[in-house]
Amino acid sequence: MNSFFALSWSNPPGFDIESAMERLGNAPEIYVSLVKRFHANHKAGLERLHHHLRLGDLTRAADELHTLRGSAGVLGATDLADFTRTAEASLRLESEAMTDQAIAHTLLMEQLDTLMASTLATLERIIAQIERNDVSGWISSSWP
């Protein structure tokens, strides 16, 4: 394992960076690249999710949550992955179980928006820590 992660990493609450790094072959440059891509693309995915929920298209909304769950899992964002897994399962069953979908959707989006904000802030701190330690001289100093 890269000594930076082995010696100086502690997982922030809601994250398992060590497992994520293991899945990525202990390559911090890949992790940084994926975090930056996630950061750049997350808003569009959330907008699509909001749109599908407003239209009542629960299948597509669940698909958006599935995509978000996968990205969160790759990054080791365990709280976000767990939340989206539960929300996805709920939406896939919702047409039979829910009677007041608008309220449930609003609550889901409020919780997801709060969790996404926290996740993104933590990911930004992770990237800053990696960049400060100049893991291998490859990390760009720009951050979207």
**What is the SS3 string spanning 22-85?**
HHCCCCHHHHHHHHHHHHHHHHHHHHHHHHHHHHCCHHHHHHHHHHHHHHHHHHCCHHHHHHHH
- 6 confidence band (pLDDT: 50, 70, 90): very low
Residue 9 lies in a domain: no
- 105 confidence band (pLDDT: 50, 70, 90): confident
Q: By residue range, what is the domain housing residue 47?
A: 19-131
Q: What is the dihedral of CA 94, 109, 16, 130, to 10 degrees?
A: 150
Q: Give the mean pLDDT of the chain.
A: 80
Q: Which of 38, 19, 32, 33 is nearest to 129 (CA)?
A: 32
pLDDT exceeds 80 at position 103: no
The pTM score is: 0.77
The per-residue pLDDT for 136 is 43
pLDDT tens digits along 37-94: 998 888 899 999 989 988 888 889 999 999 999 999 999 999 999 999 999 988 888 7
Residue 73 lies in a domain: yes
The per-residue pLDDT for 30 is 92
Name the domain count of the chain: 1
Residue 45 lies in a domain: yes
- Helices then strands, each counted (H, E), the chain: 6, 0
- Percent of all residues in the chain with a pLDDT value above 90, rounded to a whole number: 35
Give the Cα-Cα-Cα angle 108, 54, 60 (nearest 5 degrees). 80
The per-residue pLDDT for 5 is 45
Residue 95 lies in a domain: yes
